[in-house]
Structure 1
Amino acid sequence: MSSVLTKENILLNAEVESKENAIRLTGNLLVENGYVEPQYIEKMLEREQLTSTYMGNFVAIPHGTEDAKKAVKESGIAIIQVPGGVEFGPGNEVKLLIGIAGKGDEHLEILSQIAIVCSEEENVLGIVNAGSKEEILAYFEGVN
């Protein structure tokens, strides 16, 4: 089984102009690294329609709907820095996108680890301002 989070899953200094593009970019990273089938991205967009994945503290956690599980090959996380921010609804600025694909119920464990890291605004800002993928990985050591 490959790691849930590797350097290849991290994108530094991305610029996105819309929530939809942010979600597509996040999904594409999961597709490119072999975690999900391309149709997972549509399920991520569908999920966002149902309920926003904005979590506060400049963080959004785009993920697929419940029926998207069949498009998941293995559990993985994509992390994208958006230092310039992207609007996820009125007043909800996102600077850190964390895409999640979970096999079975594995996403719950992954989510709880991420929630712990991202509950501290200083961690989030540290990740957003990190100059390297290694720096970002260090914040999420407990995830793999």
Structure 2
Amino acid sequence: MDHTILNEDRVLLNAKATNKEEAIRLAGRILVDEGCVEDAYIDRMLEREESLTTYIGNHVAIPHGTEEGKKEILRSGISIVQLPEGVDFGDGQTAHIVIGIAGKDNEHMDILSQIALVVSEEENVAKMAQANSAAELLSFFQEEE
């Protein structure tokens, strides 16, 4: 995956979140701090979650903004929040990895497909949830290039 879209500065290890809103805000804040999106994009991520869960299974959630939020994306980027203790995304679904996505000019579809390849393997997600460094966590995505 392109280093400008996903790099070690966009990985938060050993995070704790009391609920899914907090986890989504953590993922969104990384995207804001890295200059990928405007602050308002975090609200669009939360709006998306209200209308349709972004939990995709295998202990992974992929929050991203609504269609309206596209205007708040400055450049494509991905954030990864590792939650070893997990956070409830509803209906007993616990996410240990939360991947925030901002895709400029429909790049998000390519980004989503690359992520889906990695997280479709439950073993990969388990190892990502226990990774001790950002480089170790990112190595799963680099293998898919």
**Contact 2:76-2:108 within 8 A present in 1 as well:** yes
| 1:37-57 alpha-carbon deviations (Å, 9 max, x no partner) | 000000000000110000000
TM-score normalised by L of structure 2: 0.96
Where does residue 120 of structure 1 map in the other structure? 121
Give RMSD over aligned pairs.
Answer: 1.4
Structure 2 counterpart of 1:7? 8
Q: How far is 1:62 from its partner? A: 0.4
Amino acid in structure 1 at the alignment position of 2:18: E
Matches within 5 A, 1:128-139: 128-139=129-140
Contact residue 118 and residue 144 of structure 2 kept, 8 A: no
Query: Which residue does 1:46 correspond to in 2?
Result: 47
Q: How many residues align?
A: 144
Deviations along 1:57-116, whole A, 9 cap, x unmatched?
Answer: 000000000111110000000001000010000210010000000001100000000000
CA contact (8 A) 1:26 1:97 kept: yes
Q: CA deviation at 1:142?
A: 6.1
Q: Distance in 1 between matches of 2:3 and 2:90?
A: 34
Q: In the alignment, what sits opposite 1:79?
A: 80
Residue 141 of structure 1 aligns with which residue? 142
Q: TM-score scaled to structure 1, two decimals? A: 0.96
In the alignment, residue 66 of structure 2 is paired with which amino acid? Answer: T
- Structure 2 alignment gaps of length 5 or more: none
Specify the code of the residue in structure 1 equivalent to 2:42. Answer: I
Q: In 2, distance between residues paired with 1:87 and 1:47? A: 17
The secondary structure found in structure 1 opposite 2:104 is coil
